[in-house]
Amino acid sequence: MATKPPSSLSALIEALRALPGVGPKSAQRIAYHLMQHDRSGAVRLGEALLGASQGLRHCERCNTFTEATICELCSDDTRDASVLCVVETPADQAMLEQTLTFRGLYFVLMGRLSPLDGIGPNDVHFDRLIRRAEDGVVKEVVLATNFTNEGEATAHYLAQMLKARGLSVSRLARGVPMGGELEYVDVGTIARAMVDRRTV
Amino acid sequence: MATKPPSSLSALIEALRALPGVGPKSAQRIAYHLMQHDRSGAVRLGEALLGASQGLRHCERCNTFTEATICELCSDDTRDASVLCVVETPADQAMLEQTLTFRGLYFVLMGRLSPLDGIGPNDVHFDRLIRRAEDGVVKEVVLATNFTNEGEATAHYLAQMLKARGLSVSRLARGVPMGGELEYVDVGTIARAMVDRRTV
Ligand SMILES: [Zn+2]
Ligand SMILES: [Zn+2]
């Protein structure tokens, strides 16, 4: 008759499995670590999870995370609304912003096509991007998905959809190394790739 | 002028760094994953962290996590109170319980000596174990710390302290593979090591 752990500890170990890549053994270790050595960190994380889960929504224009209806960048009327840059994640967007080479607006896919994982166009909500790009103001769409197989497939698919609707479509130049993921590439390389972007 | 992420997202990314081994990049990836794909998991984890942080204390007798003053096992008066088994973690205790070879009580160190990390006897609160072992009822202390360098050093140190106080001290037999950590060893091996434990 083995003793069971206290229920709030079991619940914590179980809940930690929601973290990507965390199995039963590491969930147990993380729970012991937090409860033994870092309760204030555990409380801060607990409150942050609840706060973000309640507070974050998707920007109605660009789809990134925001606490408002329209995010700060989309609300900035000094940006050039005729150019729309499509990225996979908010981290990719932040990298591009750091290059200071782009003054247009963004659309954040929050994903990518991944046929091997069964992630198709409907799962990534490309319909929202198409509607956004067809606002009559956007003239050019810059595809800045990653230069991985999945990012390239996404760009290829989007290019066809957007060109069929009469939009000019470009892709970051191949200054980005093959197989590279934007957020791990240095800012200078991304800056050059943005300047050298080519029509596709 | 790069855009900042919404404050509740920044707070979440920052708070995720409390998890062992999570740096800035993986904190960001975990935050995006949870907010994009698993909000209910995030809420469950948030509530579990707050619940465990508030509800868990240390058993006054054995030092393991409990929601009461004395844990369930320590309250079980069918256990043999004359034998006290010392383990590093609740996971190690659970493994030993599974072997069904031990009917005594436990003391859970919640740590081990680790001179290289600057963790000495005071950090592991050996004074609490000594007080517990000197209750006049305990006759034998079984040292079941891991068979790693740190676990062996801990066992060696404790053996000296406890023998100096007139207690009989034993160590799990070397059926446990050298360098092995208890929670990764099969139950049969641990069972044999418990039966074969030797006086030190
Ligand atoms: Zn926006
Ligand atoms: Zn106890």
Q: What is the pLDDT of residue A3?
A: 64
Q: Is the pLDDT of residue A180 over 80?
A: no
Q: What is the pLDDT of residue A134?
A: 95
Report residue B68's pLDDT band, with 50, 70 and 90 as the boundaries: very high
Question: What is the average per-residue pLDDT within B39-47?
Answer: 98
Q: What is the pLDDT of residue A1?
A: 43
User: Three-state SS across A108-137?
Assistant: ECCCCCEHHHCECCCCCCHHHHHHHHCCCC
Average pLDDT of chain B to the nearest whole number: 90
Report residue A192's pLDDT band, with 50, 70 and 90 as the boundaries: confident
Average pLDDT of chain A to the nearest whole number: 90
Chain A: give the shortest CA distance to residue B165, in Å. 29
Report residue A101's pLDDT band, with 50, 70 and 90 as the boundaries: confident
**Residues A43, B49: C-beta atoms closer than 8 Å:** yes
Q: Is the pLDDT of residue B177 over 80?
A: no
B96-128 pLDDT per residue, tens: 888 888 999 999 999 888 888 888 888 887 999
Dihedral sign computed on CA atoms, order A75, A79, A83, A86: negative
Top-confidence residue, B104 or B195: B104
Top-confidence residue, B5 or A106: A106
Q: What is the pLDDT of residue B3?
A: 64
CB contact A104 to B (< 8 Å): no
Pick the ligand that lies closest to the CA of residue B75. 2
Residue B164 burial (10 A CB sphere; 0-12, 13-18, 19+)? exposed
Considering only the top CATH level, what class is B61-171?
Answer: alpha beta
Pick the ligand that lies closest to the CA of residue B93. 2
Q: Percent of chain B at pLDDT above 70?
A: 96
Q: What is the pLDDT of residue A2?
A: 52
**Residues B36, A110: C-beta atoms closer than 8 Å:** yes
Question: What is the average per-residue pLDDT within A109-120?
Answer: 87
Question: How many interface pairs between A and B have CB atoms less than 8 angstroms apart?
Answer: 182
Element (H, E) at B131: helix B126-133
- Determine which of A79-93, A126-140, B119-133 has the lowest per-residue pLDDT on average: B119-133
Whether the predicted interface score ipTM is above 0.95? no
Chain A: give the shortest CA distance to residue B158, in Å. 21
Question: What is the average per-residue pLDDT within A153-158?
Answer: 94
Q: Compute how many other C-beta atoms are within 10 angstroms of the C-beta atom of residue B89.
A: 23
Interface test with A, best of B25, B29, B53 (most A CBs within 10 A): B53
Question: What is the average per-residue pLDDT within B7-27?
Answer: 95
Strands (E), chain B: 57-58, 65-66, 80-87, 104-108, 140-143, 168-171, 198-199
The structure tokens listed for B1 are: 């002028």
Residue A14 CA, distance from chain mean position: 27
Which residues of chain A does B49 touch, with a Cβ-Cβ cutoff of 8 Å? 12, 15, 34, 42-43, 45-46, 49
Residue type, A67: E
A169: three-class secondary structure by DSSP: strand
CA atoms within 13 A on the CB side of A172: 31
- Determine which of A11-15, A74-78, A92-96, B61-65 has the lowest per-residue pLDDT on average: A92-96
Report how far residue B192's alpha carbon sits from residue B198's, in angstroms, rounded to the nearest whole number: 12
- For chain A, which residues make up each domain, given as ranges? 61-171
Q: What is the pLDDT of residue B1?
A: 43
Q: What is the pLDDT of residue B2?
A: 52
